[in-house]
Structures are given as structure tokens and as C-alpha cells.
Amino acid sequence: GKHGTYATGGYVATLNWTFDGSINISTNLQTNNWLDEKTRAVFIEMTLYNPHANLFSVVAMVTE
């Protein structure tokens, strides 16, 4: 198939360390219509740490 690319640019929202803080930011994004019919893609990136295994996991997701 044919692969496409996205131009650089866009907007960044950084979520909080706490659940309540992240919910507040997410609610604010919804209220201010950050996602609408013109949104082409959403990229979600995070780093997770498992202290029991002493391992980091880097996760990158995209939805179009």
C-alpha cells in the first residue's frame, strides 16, 4: 500500500502525574474542542516503569 506522512507541527498536551490532574486536563481539552472533524491524527506517547521488574516500557500509539 501507499504510506503517507504528516507535516511537522501541531499541538501538545501533557497530562498530569495524578489521575485527577489528568482528568482535569482531558476535560479542558474537550471543553475547548481540541479534537474536531478537522483532526487528522492523535499521537499518544508515554513511558511506563515497572518497579518489580525494574523495566521501562516506551509506548507510542497513533489513531487516524
pLDDT at site 28: 94
Rounded Cα distance between 39 and 13, Å, is: 15
pLDDT of 63 higher than 80 = yes
**Distances in whole angstroms, Cα of residue 47 to Cα of each of 41, 44, 59:** 20, 11, 6
Q: What is the tens place of the pLDDT at every residue in 1-59?
A: 667 888 888 889 998 889 999 999 999 999 999 988 888 888 999 999 999 999 999 99
The overall pTM is greater than 0.85: no
pLDDT at site 50: 97
pLDDT at site 10: 86
